[in-house]
Amino acid sequence: MFAHYNNLLIQKNKLTFAFQKQKTSFRMEITLDKIDSLNAILKVNIVQEDYKTTVEKSLSKLRQNADYPGFRKGMVPKEMIKRKYGASVMVDELEKIIHSKLFDYIKENQLNIFGEPLPCETKQQTIDFETQADFEFYYDIAFTPKIEYSVNKDEILPYYTLKIGEEMIDERVKTYQLELGYHQPAEEFSENDFLRGTLTEWENDAPKNNGLVVEDTMIVPSFFKDEEEKAKFNLVKKESTVLFNPTKAQDGNPAKIATILGISKEETEKYPGDFLCEIKEIVHFHEAEINQEFFDAIFPQVEITTEADFREKIKIVMANEYSSYSDNKFLSDFRQSVEKKIGEVQFPEAFLKRWIRISNKQENNDLEAIETAYSETIENLKFQLVKEQLIKEYNISAEADEVRGYIKKELWRFYSHNGAQISNQELEANIDRILEKEDMLLSAVNKVLEIKLGKFLQKQIKLDNKEVSTEEFLKLIQ
């Protein structure tokens, strides 16, 4: 329903990222007032000297572009610009400066907090930006709880691998054959061929007067729903004719009928009768033959000379493909074990509920929705905090090439699943665009860290290896 537990920790990581990108020096003072072990208030004192220069620069830029009646562009008096825009520009600059300085303070003092500071609702006084020059701002922050957890090397957890059976290999070989197959003109129709020809609406053994004529349409009888209509095309030859009923053939499906007749779905009701198909072309699809050329095309970097070796290589490839499912299942089982061990954890409830309300724009204060979201959030946060602790403890890091490789793999999977073709140059360009987006970059970094943590834990914990069928594995993850 709500997925902000990642946002809470991504925001925390963003504080570190932002600190590395921008460092500025100001006279403003920030003090920490700790309320309890989970909550605190940050007080920010900022004086005119801290923001005066940046405000004046912003107002000068506005003046350069200001276009007022009676004045040349850029020549509007400074005081006029200040009267109109001074307060709003000051507010903008204050927000930028405070935001930057808070990042620095949190980083320098190594504060492990959830999300970002939120404006304090209890201590903040009303501010008049028109008349005040010095300001006091208050912000609520919430600390992440300390969770004591250590890996038990005597613990035994199951590790499930999918059994790659002969049927699965057969299906993969068939997929490769279809991918490398080719079309070729034929004289006689056989199953799975497609036809090109002209359709003429037919009535009383003759073309219907003012009836529909469809030139150069494509028909694939193997896609017909009605077996009787499908059978009419068996063994027909090029330049022959077949009388059939498109509506009956496609079981009255408007979209499929429309495809055959080249009309809109709404028009199909007008043409419930027979059509004469004059076959102009028959195209037969040939699956790729299993031979040396086929082996080389599928695995160009590997020397394979026999079908047995080819199938063994497919088995290895499929096992690697499915290993991520096994790793995810292992991490899920590890999470359950962790949650049982750590038990109840105290969280800054009021702050998190307020964060949830703001993040999801729950301005109507839907208490039930917020309560549900809070329960989901803390369940995920428990394990997320343990993961962060272990990643830090065991010095697990995500290198730039690993992050790029992960994104590349996910993009390939996406395009392959959707049957889309993409060049390597386009793929690399897409990766670059993703890396430029801070949230997407941090999400990829976190995923790489999680994968590496899982691999590390598999070496620390005793594994009870179990080989299961696809059906059994699907039941396990439901």
Residue 454 domain flag: yes
Residues 432, 324: one domain?
A: yes
Residues 137, 186: one domain?
A: no
Band the pLDDT of 316: cuts 50, 70, 90.
very high
Say if pTM beats, i.e. exceeds, 0.85.
no
Give the domain CATH number at 125.
3.30.70.1050
Residue 61 domain flag: yes
* Mean pLDDT on 304-317: 95
User: Which region among 19-28, 262-271, 334-343 has the lowest average model confidence (pLDDT)?
Assistant: 19-28
Compute the distance between CA of residue 469 and CA of residue 451 in angstroms, rounded to an integer: 23
Residues 342, 438: one domain?
A: yes
CB-hemisphere CA count at 13 Å for 307? 6
Q: What pLDDT was estimated at residue 128?
A: 85
Give the domain CATH number at 361.
1.10.3120.10
| Most confidently predicted of 16-25, 72-81, 203-212, 414-423 | 203-212
Residues 261, 387: one domain?
A: no
For the cut 70, the answer to whether the pLDDT of residue 402 exceeds it is yes
Q: What pLDDT was estimated at residue 16?
A: 38
Residues 227, 345: one domain?
A: no
Q: What pLDDT was estimated at residue 364?
A: 56
DSSP structure string for 245-301:
-HHHHTTT-HHHHHHHHTS-GGGGGG--S-EEEEEEEEEEEEPPPSSHHHHHHH-TT
Helix (H) or strand (E) holding 415: helix 400-417
Residue 349 domain flag: yes
């303070």: which residue's tokens? 105
Residues 251, 340: one domain?
A: no
Q: 29 is written with which tokens?
A: 């003072």
Percent of the chain past pLDDT 70, that is, above it, reads 93
Compute the distance between CA of residue 62 and CA of residue 83 in angstroms, rounded to an integer: 12
Average pLDDT, the chain: 87
Within 10 Å of residue 366's Cβ, how many Cβ atoms?
13
* Mean pLDDT on 143-164: 92
Q: 121 is written with which tokens?
A: 């609702």
Domain containing 245 equals: 182-286
Residue 308 domain flag: no
Buried-state track 118-143, b at ≥16 Cβ within 10 A, e below 16: eeeeeeeeeeeeeeeeebebbbbbbb
Band the pLDDT of 62: cuts 50, 70, 90.
confident
Q: What pLDDT was estimated at residue 365?
A: 64
Q: Are strands 156-162 and 118-119 parallel, antiparallel or unpaired?
A: unpaired
Compute the distance between CA of residue 144 and CA of residue 38 in angstroms, rounded to an integer: 7
Residue 106 domain flag: yes
Summarised one tens digit per residue, pLDDT across range 337-366 is 999 998 888 999 999 999 888 877 655 567
Determine the length of the chain: 478
For the cut 50, the answer to whether the pLDDT of residue 318 exceeds it is yes
Residue 147 domain flag: no
CA–CA distances in Å: residue 191 to residues 197, 375, 435, 451, 470: 17, 56, 48, 46, 31
Residues 280, 322: one domain?
A: no
Among 286, 304, 330, identify where a domain stops: 286
The dihedral formed by the CA atoms of 8, 13, 15 and 21, expressed in degrees to the nearest 10: -150
Residue 391 domain flag: yes
Phi then psi for 93, rounded to 5 degrees? -70, -35
DSSP-based three-state secondary structure for 222: helix
Residues 19, 116: one domain?
A: yes
CA–CA distances in Å: residue 58 to residues 28, 69, 82, 93, 422: 20, 22, 10, 9, 45
Among 84, 113, 142, identify where a domain stops: 142
Residues 363, 466: one domain?
A: yes
Compute the distance between CA of residue 387 and CA of residue 396 in angstroms, rounded to an integer: 11
Residues 267, 191: one domain?
A: yes
* Mean pLDDT on 260-265: 93
Structural domain total, the chain:
3
Residues 251, 111: one domain?
A: no
Residues 323, 469: one domain?
A: yes
Query: How many H-runs (helices) and E-runs (strands) does the chain carry?
Result: 15, 12
Band the pLDDT of 59: cuts 50, 70, 90.
confident
Residue 313 domain flag: no
DSSP-based three-state secondary structure for 186: strand
Among 270, 286, 302, identify where a domain stops: 286
